[in-house]
Structure 1
Amino acid sequence: MAYHISKTVEKQDFDQLKEKVVEALKTEGFGVLTEIDIKATMKKKLDKDYRPFVILGACNPVFADKVLSVDPHMSALLPCNVSLRELESGKIEISAIEPITAMAGVGNVDIKPLATAVSEKLAKVVGMVE
């Protein structure tokens, strides 16, 4: 099973697409807690050039609460990361963590339905963005 939910979209303004992803996340009940600019970070820390690439740390508080109520150690797997990165072709890949795969190793049967619900929401987010 894949550990991510991804799709590639045609070349467009990166920042505008990022805003579309943020809006799609809001539609599914997620907020963005963190944003990591990989391009800027790698340039600053390693003097290495990257194409535009960001990681959004998204959280759906309702599901985070449910998961943490079942197992507080699940905090190590939160938030749900959604990334956008420009490919060599100029197209942009949108990728989200696949919660079912990420949480499968936990072995707690009470987590699986929650992971499935979050997976469905993240798949909708990725699917919404064009």
Structure 2
Amino acid sequence: MDIALSTTLHTGFDRAVEAVREALAEQGFGILTDIDMAATIKAKLGHDMEDYRILGACNPPLAHQAVGINRQIGLLLPCNVVVRRDPHDTELIHVEAMNPELMVEVTSDARLRPVAADAAARLAAALETLDRHAGPGPSQR
């Protein structure tokens, strides 16, 4: 099982982040956290790295269902979505969303399967929206 659902875009980084937020919102996800890894690494370690943001996405009804099934599932929430510039080709922006099916694999709790499937379908739909509106790059999966 892949740990991520992903696509590659050929657009500006700030536009990609904006498009990801919009696509996730259309699927019922809000952003709880927004971590600028590049700025954090620069501030804390003095090292430069490519643009790299981690968005903590949450669909409240799905999160509520998952926590209702298994209280420890909060350890795997929110669903992280990474928007990052390719370190070798600065024209490419990778968007990677945590595969919610991992919740079932990690916990071995089959009761989470329908919640994970719903979340995965919504994240996949958001990535498809990105492909249509922000412009896919040369590779997608």
Same fold? TM cut 0.5:
yes
Give the secondary-structure state (helix, strand or coil) at the position aligned to 1:29.
coil
| 1:14-93 alignment, distance < 5 Å | 14-87=13-86, 88-90=88-90, 91-93=92-94
Following superposition, the deviation at residue 113 of structure 1 comes to 1.1
Would you identify which runs of 4 or more consecutive aligned residues in structure 1 move more than 4 Å?
Answer: none
Structure 1 vs Structure 2 CA RMSD: 0.9
Partner of 2:124: 123
Q: Which amino acid aligns with 2:76?
A: L
C-alpha deviations, 1:100-126, integer Å up to 9, x for none?
024312111110111111011111111
CA distance in structure 2 between the aligned counterparts of 1:30 and 1:42, rounded to whole angstroms? 27
Percentage of matched positions with identical amino acids: 35
Q: Deviations over 1:25-83 (max 9, x none)?
A: 10000000000001000001111111111000000000000000111110000000001
In 1, the alpha carbon distance for the partners of 2:53 and 2:85 equals: 9
For structure 1, list consecutive stretches of 5 or more residues without a partner in the other structure: none
CA–CA distance in structure 2, aligned partners of residues 50 and 102 of structure 1: 30
Instruction: Give the structure-2-normalised TM-score.
Output: 0.88
Deviation at 1:8, TM superposition (A): 0.8
After TM superposition, the score normalised by the length of structure 1 is 0.95
Structure 2 alignment gaps of length 5 or more: 135-141
Distance in structure 2 (CA, Å) of the matches to 1:70 and 1:19: 33
For residues 18 and 7 of structure 2, the distance between their equivalents in structure 1, rounded to whole angstroms, comes to 16
Q: How far apart, in 2, do the equivalents of 1:102 and 1:71 lie?
A: 10
Corresponding position of 2:139: none
Q: Which amino acid counterpart does residue 43 of structure 1 have in structure 2? A: K
